[in-house]
Structure 1
Amino acid sequence: MRDLVSEMTTSLQARELQIQSNGKTLLDVPELTLDGPGPTLILGPNGSGKSLLLRCLHGLITPNRGQVAQDGTLLNSDHKARQAMVFQHPVLLRRSVAANLDFVLKRQGFGWTARKRRIVELLAEGGLEGKSRQPARSLSGGEAQRLAILRALALKPETLLLDEPTSALDPGATQMIERMVLRASTRGVRIVMVTHDIGQARRLAADVVMMQAGTVVEHGPAKQVLVAPKSEASRRYLAGGLIT
């Protein structure tokens, strides 16, 4: 499926990124460019800075130094409006499944007819057609995460950032979300996803960012990084021997 990914994806660049707290460096990324087609997956042990990097790319965290750019221009409010992010534990509104989607679309000025059509499309994409009137907060974990991703995709973002969206899900629910991610990628959405699941990276990634202790220890095509990693830290992590 990855061979069908559109070439028309946005690029993200991080330069001299640093985040420090209480005299400790939590993130130190001198240079990182995410371009080319297909999903980027960020791997590494707990505390390696994966989520911090993702939040910097989305502009949720302002680094102590350095900058993030999109398509060569410093990240700005317009870029952020064309991004969407889904967290590990999504927060759904206290209303129906369909109303969660309608809320996002209505705030962006979509008329009722356009909203109704888009909601039908989204529910079908996420396999939630039969649950449109169900309270969103009564969904199962996998269904709730699918709704969160659909809500993020409702406005057709250029970039979708995902922070371990399947970490607490069973294999069936994980598979459904992976399919959603790949479909979005084939439409040209830039996917940047944090995961601790090496198997998931093998299934989804076009390229892989390996992190340890707040730094990028390796970045390259998935076929190279996951099969023949160049760094010792990557080799140890993939072998399950990296101490967190």
Structure 2
Amino acid sequence: MRQEATALPLRAEGLRFAAGGVEILHGLDFSLVAGAPTVILGPNGAGKSVLLRVLHGLLEPTGGTLRWSLPAEAAQRRQAMVFQRPVMLRRSVLANALYPLRLAGLPEAEAAARAALDRVGMAALADRPARKLSGGEQQRLALARAWALAPEILFLDEPTAALDPAATRQVEEIIGAIAASGTKVVMTTHHLGQARRLAGDVMLLLGGMLNAQGPAERFFAAPPTAEAAAFLRGDLVW
């Protein structure tokens, strides 16, 4: 059972990130709170993936502040991240699911790993080499591996990119189940339909700047900025 102390809400003030002399994130101000998924939208090069990596601690901000409700190290231990192309160890499906649990020193790791595989419909594939799975199966395994850790926050970077519609639907169902279990999902996507289906709130990044943030229903029904309206129509030139 999760402890009462929580990492959320997170508050970012003037958040910046630069690399190679180029500023990618420009003074972002926003909050993330517990609840339904936050979906980060924006065109290619907007800074979406970089923002996820900064939030997860894989990249250090070069300006501004990130304030978790717990000390940063404690907050980081309550997080997990799944990448667009998840890394599969040269081991079985079960061994891949077990690895982070054993690394974290969690008790009854094998039982937890098998339960996680069952939740994503992969229990029957436990002995199969992970690297021989299809792209959709690998993404489901990556989600199971992260979910088994019971993270408070789960960052997902384009989790259905390059997947066919059937695999996309399966992954979306798993994301919905993870969110329903109490984990805060923060994800990037290029798919507006997916954002409509999954998002509780939306952030729109344009050129490394936060153009809009708010409840998903309001964002799609009445875009708060001219740029957001153009983005939804597919007319945005940036």
Q: TM-score range, shorter-chain basis?
A: over 0.9
Could you tell me which residue of structure 2 aligns to residue 172 of structure 1? 166
- TM superposition score normalised by structure 2: 0.93
Could you tell me which residue of structure 2 aligns to residue 151 of structure 1? 145
Separation of aligned partners in 1, 2:33 and 2:145 = 25
**Letter in structure 1 aligned against 2:90:** R
**SS of equivalent to 2:64:** strand
Separation of aligned partners in 2, 1:129 and 1:23 = 47
**SS of equivalent to 2:113:** helix
1:39 paired to 2:33: no
Separation of aligned partners in 2, 1:236 and 1:142 = 32
TM-superposed CA distance for 1:26, in Å, is: 1.1
- TM superposition score normalised by structure 1: 0.91
Go from structure 1 to structure 2 and tell me whether the alpha carbon gap of 1:134 and 1:238 turns closer, same or farther (over 3 Å shift): same
Could you tell me which residue of structure 2 aligns to residue 195 of structure 1? 189
Alignment of 1:106-117 (within 5 A): 106-111=102-107, 114-117=108-111
Separation of aligned partners in 2, 1:203 and 1:179 = 10
Could you tell me which residue of structure 1 aligns to residue 79 of structure 2? 83
Could you tell me which residue of structure 1 aligns to residue 11 of structure 2? 13
**SS of equivalent to 1:226:** helix
1:241 paired to 2:207: no
- One of 23, 27, 30 as aligned partner of 2:25: 27
Moved over 4 A (4+): none
- Which segments of 5 or more consecutive residues in structure 1 lack a partner in the other structure? 1-7
- One of 133, 136, 145 as aligned partner of 1:139: 133
Could you tell me which residue of structure 2 aligns to residue 224 of structure 1? 218
Go from structure 1 to structure 2 and tell me whether the alpha carbon gap of 1:57 and 1:95 turns closer, same or farther (over 3 Å shift): same
Q: Is the 8 A contact 2:7 2:75 kept in 1?
A: no
> How many positions carry a matched residue from both structures?
233
- Which segments of 5 or more consecutive residues in structure 2 lack a partner in the other structure? 1-5
Q: CA deviation digits over 1:102-152, x for unaligned, max 9?
A: 1111122234xx123212211111110110000000000000011111111
Q: CA deviation digits over 1:68-111, x for unaligned, max 9?
A: 1222x45x122111100011111110000001111111122234
Separation of aligned partners in 2, 1:34 and 1:94 = 36
Could you tell me which residue of structure 2 aligns to residue 127 of structure 1? 121
Aligned CA-pair RMSD: 1.5
TM-superposed CA distance for 1:29, in Å, is: 3.4
Q: Is the 8 A contact 1:9 1:188 kept in 2?
A: no
TM-superposed CA distance for 1:12, in Å, is: 2.0
Separation of aligned partners in 2, 1:68 and 1:52 = 14
Could you tell me which residue of structure 1 aligns to residue 198 of structure 2? 204
The higher relative CO (CA closer than 8 Å, separation ≥ 6) is in 1
**Letter in structure 2 aligned against 1:35:** V
Separation of aligned partners in 2, 1:184 and 1:13 = 23
